[in-house]
Chains A and B, each alone.
Chain A
């Protein structure tokens, strides 16, 4: 097990390094003139202005020089200060966010984490439960219904589903509004006597014993949660179902049946724990993926999370922001993947021993 953990720990920096190189390579597909636009605020009037920017930032240096400078920062020739360098946490200035990218990231992260926490619970619990039910009643009506549900779920684009949900529950029924908070709640949260411990409005509302804010914050999350659930259930259901079917076909299940155990005991005690092992990985990965990856849902429901910021930046070609956000999400997923893999090793002796 120790060897397994060490091997995984050693692989991680390589992957992270590769991710940074890949992202940088992608930005380098633009030629220096195109990249110089990232450093200019106004439309240049002469070619000389572009050349000056290219020279000042060394945009036509060799790849490795620019990559190193991107990682570690550079000395500004005018002020003599060290600026930039993603390793120093300086991702540059976000044109769409009007703040440094790092600040934008830090204000957006808690919102996305909060959504992932609230959506993750029903996604995993119900998704796994549906999969188990479908497998137990293999090829019966429930299974067929689950199958239709998941095929339709696969085919239903998130953004169409989200728009329909918004149309029904917001425009028509006026039950759940989009956005993050109602106006009065926003004012209350911004007030000096409201302590923002976590920057996640639902939890802050609870910690401040302001249940009205908690309810309001949760009300605004209902529609995004519904959308995310629908999208992710289709996948989780399928995976749990096939994993469970495989477990039910194992010899030890036959043995358990043969020795006369009740049907429920066989499925719940003998098959289910083993069937859930691979599901754990996928489910964990899904929920972590929600933090950086809910671009469409956050955009449509106007949730000010990371995905929305990335989408807005991409739309107006604010490359610094969208590249930094993608990089951050990728590194976060790599770390999460490592943790999940190690947990998986504890759960599944086959992984540990091989």
Chain B
């Protein structure tokens, strides 16, 4: 890409002008990271790590990714063969146990860091247990995998569908656009959470109580916003002269879309995706909370929080049921929203020129 000839015109007596040459003339200080990723991405990355709010967001997101990656170390599965996403239980008693209570029945293996930090060789319930003696620490740690998995799948799939539908709609216009717009409208006509709730409950008989019904439901009703944004951005990008130039040169449609139009709409999509990743996880947790998601005892934040509903009147003694998974969910969402918010400010040209 770097050496690609961008102008067929020769400078008299010189070699062909390349993209690198132009970058060198226009941005003489281009080096290091900026040279590696290009000026547009550089501005984005630079903005992200210089803005304190987005640094906070990055730290939060990294924290959860590490937690998910090291889940088997932080909360080792009870047996090698056991499904680690099923929260281990300390008996079956209904009354929740407070953080620090000793794990009496059937404790999982003690990880190496645990003895070093606490000095004990016996598991305690680090974050207490919920009713039914589900260990909250296990739920929160393994729940970070569930959250990231669901969030990434929902966001990636909805962005992809949105990109395809939006770009076809905007690029071809006419009746294709009309039909796709009507279809998008049909999906948007539903109240989002209620529609997702409906589809998830329809899918439960097919997939059982697992992460799939809410995930699929969030995808089916979630792509419309991306399609709208992509369509709008492409419609404005399409009017630019370089697209006309491309057409005159006989570039085919696919290449025009992939190489010349999509790069221009990818940034707004990034912003939206960042916001929506946090959002998707919140919606996923909400569906789980409402009982159309994962089965009881699955490591999933919304699932654990739903235990708190049984203890509303005594939440001042059983605060840990809602505090730990609730905090995980809020901080996770906050991380993505902070990144999204900062990216929007960096990429919005109106914000760029404003002073103050």
Contacts and interface: CB of A to CB of B under 8 A. Distances in A.
Q: By CB atoms of chain A within 10 A, which of B187, B197, B329, B337 has the most?
A: B197
Contacts of A155: 278, 282, 330-331, 333-334, 337
A170 B333 CA distance: 27
B185 interface: yes
A295 B290 contact: yes
Q: By CB atoms of chain A within 10 A, which of B195, B305, B326 has the most?
A: B195
A330 B195 contact: yes
A15 B189 contact: yes
Contacts of B201: 313-315, 317, 319, 322
Interface in B332-356: 333-334, 337-338, 341, 350, 354, 356
Contacts of B164: none
Contact of A157 (B282, B315, B356): B282
A255 interface: no
A163 B330 contact: no
A267 to B, nearest CB: 17
A159 B286 contact: yes
A257 B210 CA distance: 60
B193 A293 contact: yes
A156 interface: yes
A156 B206 contact: no
Contacts of A249: 350
A170 B313 CA distance: 8
A171 B189 contact: no
B292 interface: yes
Interface string A305-343: 001001101110101001101100110011001000000
A323 B199 CA distance: 8
A80 B1 CA distance: 73
A156 B186 CA distance: 29
A86 interface: no
A30 B206 contact: yes
A15 B186 contact: yes
A333 B337 contact: no
Contacts of A326: 190-191, 194-195, 197-198
Given A160-B322, A160-B329, A166-B312, A330 B189 contact: yes
B43 to A, nearest CB: 20
Contacts of A172: 316
A300 interface: yes
A273 interface: no
Contact of A292 (B191, B275, B302, B312): B191
B308 interface: yes
B309 A300 contact: yes
A313 B203 CA distance: 14
A160 B305 contact: yes
A152 interface: yes
A158 B330 CA distance: 10
A30 B312 contact: no
Chain A, interface SS category:
helix
A317 B290 contact: no
Contact of B194 (A37, A164, A170, A325): A325
Contacts of A325: 194, 198
Interface string A6-27: 0000010011001100110011
A190 interface: no
A151 interface: yes
Given A293-B191, A315-B291, A322-B197, A22 B186 contact: yes
A167 interface: yes
B204 interface: yes
B285 A310 contact: no
Given A14-B182, A323-B198, A167 B205 contact: no
B49 interface: no
A293 B196 CA distance: 11
A34 interface: yes
Given A154-B333, A314-B292, A27 B202 contact: yes
A18 B182 contact: yes
B183 interface: yes
Interface in A159-179: 159-160, 163-164, 166-167, 170-172
B170 interface: no
Contacts of B315: 163, 167, 171
B205 A317 contact: yes
A151 B334 contact: yes
A23 B197 CA distance: 12
B192 interface: yes
B252 interface: no
Contacts of A85: none
Q: By CB atoms of chain B within 10 A, which of A151, A156, A159, A170 has the most?
A: A159
B294 to A, nearest CB: 13
B202 A319 contact: yes
Contacts of B356: 138-139
Contacts of B329: 157, 160
5 contacts: A15-B185, A157-B286, A295-B193, A314-B200, A315-B290
Closest 7 CB pairs between A and B? Answer: A293-B191, A315-B291, A155-B333, A18-B186, A314-B201, A155-B334, A326-B198
Given A26-B198, A300-B309, 17 more contacts: A11-B182, A15-B182, A15-B189, A18-B186, A29-B206, A139-B354, A151-B337, A157-B285, A157-B326, A171-B314, A293-B192, A295-B194, A299-B290, A310-B194, A310-B198, A314-B290, A317-B204
Interface of B: 182-183, 185-187, 189-195, 197-206, 275, 278-279, 282, 285-286, 289-292, 302, 305, 308-309, 312-316, 322, 326, 329-331, 333-334, 337-338, 341, 350, 354, 356
